[in-house]
Amino acid sequence: MNIQQRMIRFITKSNWYIFCVITLLAFINTPKPFALGILCGGLIVTLNFHALEHTLKRTFKNSSQIVAAGDSILRSVIFKYYIRFILSGVMLFLLISRNIVDPLGLIAGLSVVVASFFAATTLELTRLIIKEAV
Amino acid sequence: MEFFTACVWAAGLAIGIAALGCGLGQGMGLSGAVQGIARNPESSGKVTVTLLIGLAMIESLCIYALVVALILIYAHPQAAEFAKMAIGH
């Protein structure tokens, strides 16, 4: 397994782990709107990431088609991105405008995917440094 | 009143600039990936994974900007104080 595949497997799993741990801790330690913000933000961004993964894997599965239809592939991926972005935007709008969640909790929840990227990069870097040292 | 007008302006500019930058970044990244796979179809797997991570990072920036813009309009921490001041005058 190469470094990219290892990273993506780690990120896909750690997304859910980080999301569950942070949400649990938030519901135990923080006020309800803040914990709800983390729950909603984490759910939105994790589902978004999985939808993006699904789109890209389906689009680039048949690499021979890319040569023939490069431009239409670009348009379809960007179109799906805008649909996802509008859906997330509407959800965030409803959550913030109706004061259902604490905005700071929402920002913390939205950082779940970034946190798992950071963790994956740190892990790979550590592995690389240890490998070179040995 | 000027405070709320400024908030709406700031929110509009924030999401506008963020969407423009993220759209350009994603378009450039995707275009590079498609060209790379077209030239070397065997690299498809590696390129897709790297692209996925890059696109997710860019997308999260745009979502942050959207949240900040929505906070500026609907949940500004000092909105109540400024509203009181506006009513007092």
Nearest-CA distance from B1 to chain A in Å?
Answer: 20
Two tokens at B29?
A: 């990244």
In the block, residue with structure tokens 């275009």: B31
d(CA B83, CA B89): 10
**Residue A80, SS3?**
helix
Nearest-CA distance from B5 to chain A in Å?
Answer: 17
Q: Residues A100-120: what's their mean pLDDT?
A: 89
d(CA A17, CA A29): 18
Instruction: Residue window 12-41, chain A: list those with CB within 8 Å of chain B.
Output: none
- Report the alpha-carbon angle A101-B75-A94, nearest 5: 50
Asked if the C-beta of B24 comes within 8 angstroms of chain A's C-beta atoms, the answer is no
Q: Across the interface, do A96 and B71 touch by the CB < 8 Å criterion?
A: yes
pLDDT at A39 over 70: yes
10 Å CB burial of residue A47 (0-12, 13-18, 19+) is middle
The mean predicted confidence, pLDDT, of chain A is 85
Q: Which residues contact B59 (CB under 8 A, 6 or more apart)?
A: A48, A52, A81, A85, B22, B26
pTM, entire model: 0.79
pLDDT at B53 over 90: no
In the block, residue with structure tokens 């920002």: A107
- Structure ipTM: 0.71
For residue B75, give the nearest of A11, A52, A96 by CB distance. A96
What is the per-residue pLDDT for A65? 63
pLDDT at A70 over 90: no
Nearest CA in chain A to B69: A93
pLDDT at B18 over 90: yes
What is the per-residue pLDDT for A69? 62
Nearest CA in chain B to A5: B49
